[in-house]
Amino acid sequence: MSTSINTATAIVIIKSLGNGTRFYASDFGFSGGTVHGLDVNGYIRKTGNTKKYMVNIYDNHFIEAEVYEWEVFDKYEMDTEPTRWKEYYKERRIAEFKENAEKIITAAKILKKMGYEF
């Protein structure tokens, strides 16, 4: 399973919030693809709440859309009935999370060498 730098960064943000925290993708500037990645990988779930939001489709062309509210809910941490498959997937996600964290740190070091200060 491959994760983009956007999804990797989003996972870090989501994991820092804690289970039960509610948010909209726009709160963090997440794209639809990033939210989809968080959803299908079991980090978040829909709450059922929505709001109207102006979405930038391209080049400052906006449409009004109804967007979902999300809740941090790590289904693999919350699931109390382990199975062989769930345990494998949970271990794989932990390993991938560490790999992604290393990529973010490496990118930050390169940016610092290039003169970017943060």
- Closest to 32 (Cα-Cα) out of 65, 59, 2, 61: 65
Cα dihedral 21, 22, 25, 26 sign: negative
The overall average pLDDT reported for the chain is 88
Q: How far apart are the first and last CA of the chain?
A: 30
Phi-psi group of 87: left, alpha or beta (phi > 0 → left; psi -120 to 50 → alpha; rest → beta): alpha
| Rounded mean pLDDT, 3-20 | 85
Q: CA-CA distance, 118 to 111, in Å (whole number)? A: 9
Torsions phi, psi of 4, nearest 5? -75, 165
Instruction: Give domain status of residue 118, yes or no.
Output: no
Please say if the pLDDT value at position 31 is more than 80. yes
Count of structural domains within the chain: 1
Question: Can you give the residue range of the structural domain that contains 20?
Answer: 5-113
What's the pTM? 0.75
* pLDDT for residue 23: 97
Report residue 118 as tokens: 């943060």
> Which residues, other chains included, contact 68 with Cβ-Cβ below 8 Å and sequence gap of 6+?
24, 25, 46, 47, 49, 50
Q: Poorest-confidence range of 42-46, 83-87, 108-112?
A: 83-87
Instruction: Give domain status of residue 54, yes or no.
Output: yes
Residue 79's pLDDT band, with cuts at 50, 70 and 90, is confident
Q: Which residue has the higher pLDDT, 22 or 12?
A: 22
Angle, CA of 17, 86 and 97, to the nearest 5°: 45
